[in-house]
Amino acid sequence: MPFISFIIPVYNRPQEVDELLDSFSRQTVKDFEIIVVEDGSTLSSQDIVDEWSGSLTVRYIFQPNAGPGPARNTGASEAVGEWLIFLDSDCLLPPDYTEKVISELKSADFDCFGGPDRPHEGFNATQKAIGHTMSSFLTTGGIRGGKEKVDKFYPRSFNLGVRNSVFHAINGFTNMRFGEDIDFSMRLLEAGYKTALLQDVWIWHKRRTNFRSFFKQVFNSGIARINLEARHPGTTKLVHLLPSCFSIGYPIIFIFALFFPVLFFLLLLPPIIVFIDALVALRQLKSAILAIPAFFTQMYGYGTGFIYAWIKRNIFKEKEFNAFEESFYK
């Protein structure tokens, strides 16, 4: 019986599945099974999975489209490992990933863990810029739980592990389309279980390849925060308000700067700091330059999504919702 069951939901991404399974084949320790759950895709990954089934313990499951949470639940219902690890299809594993994670889990005093992500040297400049922005403490990286000291640590589903027994004890993921992983972590903590951030158990994460799709993602993240507050009252912290404050405050400063030019310094300060931070981290000029529009896309996307959802849910009393449901993957 494998110690770990990897569960990978996928929607119309057969090439990503092929690349991810290739990274599994290079693992130094192979005490695991892999379950790929096709969530109603029109571009099937079954042939890819079948090709790898000769060298990997991998299974393919198809279900009608229901969203990432239910797809993970489907995989978990078939998993036999003591630990379940959820990955996104756009991830790649370094060769020692399973070796490191098994070493950590053999003596774990926690019930659920999350690991960070890094940009691969083969990713393009936009992916690196967006990836850095998503993990940087200067943006919403702190909100996303990259550091335990910011708030309680909420593991994210692109690299999340949980004891099989605990997963089923809290009934897995809900049907939230966005923010479902934070909801899962919140319910796990509310049930008295313990989470941990394993800094050495990292993966490569491709992220979005253009700013339009990135905006859709972070706009929905802002909406999800309001939805999560409705499900888990009191979990919204001051730090979650910062992107919204920036979205409102930056244009106001720009207007005042037209009359008081000295204020233009305040407008230049954020992009300069973001550029320097990205240049130090990525050591690539093009990616550091692209980190500036990535920063503004993320802050305005998350901030305006948060404000939009707050108005709809608190003033107009609408039910839980998402945006771009028809065009999110386009």
Residue 295, amino acid? F
Mean pLDDT of 107-131: 92
**What average pLDDT does the structure give for the chain?**
93
DSSP for 3-44, written as a single string? SEEEEEEESS-HHHHHHHHHHHHT-S---EEEEEEEES-SS-
Using CA atoms, how far apart are residues 23 and 293, in angstroms rounded to an integer?
31
Number of H helices, E strands in the chain: 11, 10
What per-residue confidence (pLDDT) applies to 143? 42
Which of 21-25, 130-134, 143-147, 269-273 bottoms out in mean pLDDT, i.e. has the lowest?
143-147
Using CA atoms, how far apart are residues 58 and 35, in angstroms rounded to an integer?
6
What per-residue confidence (pLDDT) applies to 140? 57
Instruction: Judge whether 35 and 61 are in contact, CB under 8 Å.
Output: yes
Mean pLDDT of 172-191: 96
pLDDT tens per residue, range 290-320: 999 999 999 999 999 999 999 999 999 999 9
Edge-to-edge order in the sheet of strand 32-39: 58-63, 32-39, 4-10, 83-87, 159-163, 112-114, 195-197
Does residue 149 surpass a pLDDT of 70? no
What confidence category does residue 239 fall into, taking pLDDT thresholds of 50, 70 and 90? confident
3-state secondary structure of 160: strand
CA count, 13 A, side-chain hemisphere, 208: 20
Does residue 327 surpass a pLDDT of 70? no
What confidence category does residue 146 fall into, taking pLDDT thresholds of 50, 70 and 90? very low
Using CA atoms, how far apart are residues 318 and 274, in angstroms rounded to an integer?
36
Does residue 147 surpass a pLDDT of 90? no
What is the distance, to the nearest Å, from the Cα of residue 28 to the centroid of all Cα atoms in its chain?
26
Does residue 263 surpass a pLDDT of 70? yes
Which of 82-91, 104-113, 255-264, 317-326 bottoms out in mean pLDDT, i.e. has the lowest?
317-326
Strand bridging mode 112-114 / 159-163: antiparallel
Selection from 83, 84, 80, 99 nearest residue 24 by Cα:
99
What per-residue confidence (pLDDT) applies to 148? 46
Does residue 9 surpass a pLDDT of 60? yes
Domains (ranges, CATH) in the chain? Answer: 4-131+146-210 (3.90.550.10), 214-315 (no CATH)
Does residue 35 surpass a pLDDT of 80? yes
Instruction: Judge whether 189 and 109 are in contact, CB under 8 Å.
Output: no
Using CA atoms, how far apart are residues 231 and 309, in angstroms rounded to an integer?
14
Write down the residue that tokens 């640590």 correspond to: 153
Share of the chain above pLDDT 70, in %: 95
Does residue 28 surpass a pLDDT of 80? yes
Selection from 78, 111, 109 nearest residue 6 by Cα:
78
Mean pLDDT of 125-137: 90
DSSP for 67-116, written as a single string? -HHHHHHHHHHH--SSEEEEE-TTEE--TTHHHHHHHHHHT---SEEE--
Instruction: Judge whether 195 and 152 are in contact, CB under 8 Å.
Output: yes
Does residue 47 surpass a pLDDT of 70? yes
Does residue 196 surpass a pLDDT of 70? yes
Using CA atoms, how far apart are residues 174 and 172, in angstroms rounded to an integer?
7
What per-residue confidence (pLDDT) applies to 112? 98
Does residue 90 surpass a pLDDT of 90? yes
What per-residue confidence (pLDDT) applies to 290? 97
Regarding predicted confidence, which is higher, 68 or 137?
A: 68
How large is the C-alpha radius of gyration of the chain?
A: 20
pLDDT tens per residue, range 198-238: 999 999 998 878 999 999 999 999 999 999 999 999 999 88
